[in-house]
Chain A
Amino acid sequence: QLQLRESGPGLVKPSETLSLTCTVSGDSISSRNYYWGWIRQPPGKGLEWIASISYSGRTSHDPSLKSRVTISVDTSRNQFSLKLSSVTAADTAVYYCAKTLIGRGNFPLDYWGQGTLVTVSS
């Protein structure tokens, strides 16, 4: 059974860079034409798609966040990562990693991690 787990600091200072890693188990991140994505949810609010990446490094980004987002993949560790620069309080959210259906980087997500809360505060 495919499982995803987010890891990273739960507290980040304003103007710094948020860094999260998603570890995939139960299947190889290189298998088939999936993308691996990041989605966030501010407390009490809705979902926001951030970006996704294929095992070969092909990426897709939400335009509004693209300038601050770096997404990368490490197939040897079966992991993919998110960096979000110049964070503000508006970036406080539960961050989820997830796997897309076969196809494109913006396709629906059928396996999700449990989510990790990242708070931006000094």
Chain B
Amino acid sequence: DIQMTQSPSTLSALVGDRVTITCRASESVASWLAWYQQKPGKAPKLLIRKASSLESGVPSRFSGSGSGTEFTLTISSLQSDDFATYYCQQYSSFSTFGQGTKVEIK
């Protein structure tokens, strides 16, 4: 099965910072990669599909890039509402999630 590894596990940042989260796949998943945001006690929210396609209603400060085995989620200017845990998900073969990256206030 395909393993997904996110880095870092925790990220401390300030409002206004540019934030980048990396997700690596153990084998190529082409562009079959999604990103989610999860806040404590809530269900995940889909942000990006197919590596770089932003879901409707998601702020444009979020962007995704990459293909094959390496992907990034970038928040261009971190807002207070963005402090949360972020997960990548591959859907090339079955489906597996990364272990998550917690974005916390510095």
Contacts and interface: CB of A to CB of B under 8 A. Distances in A.
Interface of A: 46-49, 60-64, 96, 98, 101, 104, 106-110, 112-115
A110 B42 CA distance: 14
Interface string B5-47: 0000000000000000000000000000010101000111110
B94 A49 contact: yes
Interface residues of B, number: 22
Binding site secondary structure of chain A: loop
A85 to B, nearest CB: 20
A62 B94 contact: yes
Interface of B: 1, 34, 36, 38, 42-46, 49, 55, 87, 89, 91, 93-100
Contact of B94 (A63, A98, A108): A63
B95 A62 contact: yes
B100 A46 contact: yes
Q: Which 8 A-B pairs have the closest CB atoms?
A: A112-B43, A108-B34, A49-B95, A106-B95, A47-B97, A106-B91, A46-B99, A110-B46
A108 B46 contact: yes
Given A64-B1, A104-B91, 14 more contacts: A47-B97, A48-B97, A49-B89, A49-B95, A60-B94, A61-B94, A62-B94, A62-B95, A63-B1, A108-B46, A110-B55, A112-B44, A113-B43, A114-B42
